[in-house]
């Protein structure tokens, strides 16, 4: 457990990304399986009125609407990383990671209980639900969640509060800068989310 904690705040970006992908797969699919067996089907339907808003019938406009909505969560994750969550180790855990975990849990429950408002099809079995995310040409979930993951991992070390042993100190916003590599990864993550938005928009329009 400590190994994973150290890796998600590693100075090396690729280690943070790889570790988060492993955690993502374990957490997301674990929640899907648990919710499939323990929670009622469609339990999250109509629980969030924001998800019921209608998008445009135009592919491009609809994609931009979906992208803007999904980008809100990515922005929240990135800004949350400015404030670390207390930890008993030598460094604080980025708060944005906890926001990401909540998003993955909600997405896992949504898939596990088949609580999609925009999907007009009979709920499939568990194996099909687990595999559908990898249909990247027709499903947007993997694009969007990996995009959010990249944004979270690339912004993980921008906290304005640091910890060195038992000493806690703050630093200015100017000191909490991103490297060129981290900026590039964030841009790449945003591009993945945009691609996912077009795929989701196309799926919604075709189902009308």
Q: What tens digit of pLDDT does each residue of 46-62 get?
A: 665 444 567 778 899 99
Supply the pLDDT for residue 122.
77
Dmax (CA) of the chain: 58
Domain coordinates of the chain in residue numbers? 2-51+60-115+123-207
Please tell me the distance from the alpha carbon of residue 147 to that of residue 152, in angstroms, as a whole number. Answer: 9
**Going along the chain, which residue ranges are E strands?**
84-85, 93-94, 161-164, 167-170
Supply the pLDDT for residue 205.
82
Supply the pLDDT for residue 174.
61
Supply the pLDDT for residue 49.
45
Supply the pLDDT for residue 53.
60
* Mean pLDDT split into 10-residue runs, the chain, 208 residues: 72 92 92 94 68 74 92 90 64 81 91 76 84 88 93 84 51 69 95 94 80
Which of 53, 129, 130, 201 shows the shortest CA–CA distance to 121? Answer: 129
Supply the pLDDT for residue 50.
44
Per-position DSSP letters for 95-129, written without gaps between them:
HHHHHHHHHHHHHHHHHHTT--SS--S----HHHH
Supply the pLDDT for residue 9.
80
Mean pLDDT over the full length of the chain: 82
Q: Cβ contacts of residue 32 below 8 Å, gap of 6+? A: 108, 109, 111, 112, 126, 129, 130
Supply the pLDDT for residue 115.
82
């Amino acid at each position: 457990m400590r190994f994973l904690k150290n890796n998600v705040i590693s100075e090396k970006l690729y280690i943070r990304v790889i570790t988060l992908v492993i955690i993502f797969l374990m957490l997301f699919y674990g929640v899907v399986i648990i919710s499939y067996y323990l929670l009622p089907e469609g339990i999250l339907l109509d629980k969030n009125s924001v998800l019921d808003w209608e998008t445009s019938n135009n592919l491009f406009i609809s994609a931009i609407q979906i992208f803007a909505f999904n980008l809100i969560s990515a922005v929240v994750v990135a800004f949350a990383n400015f404030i670390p969550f207390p930890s008993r180790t030598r460094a604080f855990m980025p708060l944005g990671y906890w926001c990401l975990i909540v998003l993955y849990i909600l997405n896992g429950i949504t898939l596990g209980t088949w609580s999609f408002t925009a999907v007009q099809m009979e709920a499939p079995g568990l194996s099909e639900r687990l595999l559908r995310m990898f249909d990247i040409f027709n499903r947007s979930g993997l694009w969007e969640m990996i995009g959010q993951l990249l944004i979270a991992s690339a912004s993980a070390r921008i906290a304005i509060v640091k910890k060195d042993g038992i000493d806690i100190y703050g630093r200015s916003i100017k000191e909490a800068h991103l490297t060129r590599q981290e900026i590039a990864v964030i841009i790449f993550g945003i591009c993945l989310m945009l691609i996912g938005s077009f795929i989701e928009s196309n799926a919604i329009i075709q189902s009308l």
